[in-house]
Structure 1
């Protein structure tokens, strides 16, 4: 796995208020279905853990997504836009809502709800010990 992806996975865990770290493993819940997820201290995902861009990367720069992207900044890899999700949920969102684009009312609604959940689970990653 690429080091950049491991760093983003760790950032998602470190900035998730539901995530616990026992010195070896991060444990949290899927942003979508709340199933248990784990990530090693080095950022290597365990089981079905994947990186979720809550507002899809392809939506950045699109006028229809401006209200969503404004909440997470100019960069799709902003920690507020990164979350951990199980592979089933993440891939399902990618094939459905993400693919329909921000102009689709239902897709916009789903992403807005997920972003609200992510932001409610937000904590500053700098408040945690460096790993």
Structure 2
């Protein structure tokens, strides 16, 4: 796995208030279904953990998504827009809601709800447990 992706996975984990570090393994929950996920303290995902861009990368720069992207600093890789999701949920969102785009009312509602969940689980990186 590329180092850049491992860094983003680690940032998403460290800024998740549900994430707990024990013996070099971070444990948290999928943003969608709340199934258990784990990431090593070097950012390597274990099992089905994947990186989720809460507001899809393709939505950035699109007028219909401006209100959503503004909440995460207009950068798809902003830590507020990164979360952990199980592979099944991440894949399902990608082929469904992400693909329909921000002009689709239901897709926008789903992304708004996920973003609200992510922001409610936000932890400042300075408050994360040391590795």
TM-score bracket relative to the smaller structure = over 0.9
**Alpha-carbon shift at residue 127 of structure 1 (Å):** 2.1
Pairs aligned (count): 131
Query: What is residue 14 of structure 1 aligned with on the other side?
Result: 14
Secondary structure of 1:32's match? coil
TM-score by length of 2: 0.97
Structure 1 segments, 4+ long, off by >6 Å, are: none
TM-score by length of 1: 0.97
Cα distance, 1:128 vs. partner? Answer: 2.5
- Residue number in structure 1 paired with 2:38: 38
Aligned to 1:89: 89
Deviations 1:105-127 (A, max 9, x none): 00000000000000000011122
1:35-74 to structure 2, matched below 5 A, reads: 35-74=35-74
Summarize deviations over 1:53-97 as a string: whole Å, max 9, x none: 000000000000011001000210000000000000000000000
- Contact persistence 2:15–2:79 (CA under 8 A): yes
CA contact (8 A) 2:21 2:129 kept: no
CA–CA distance in structure 1, aligned partners of residues 100 and 81 of structure 2:
19
Measure the CA separation in 2 of the matches of 1:115 and 1:59. Answer: 14
User: 1:94 is paired with a residue of what secondary structure?
Assistant: helix
Gaps of 5+ in 2: none
Task: Tell me how far 1:129 sits from its aligned partner.
Answer: 4.8
Gaps of 5+ in 1: none
Whole-Å Cα distance in 1 between the matches of residues 33 and 45 of structure 2? 17
CA RMSD of aligned residues (A): 0.9
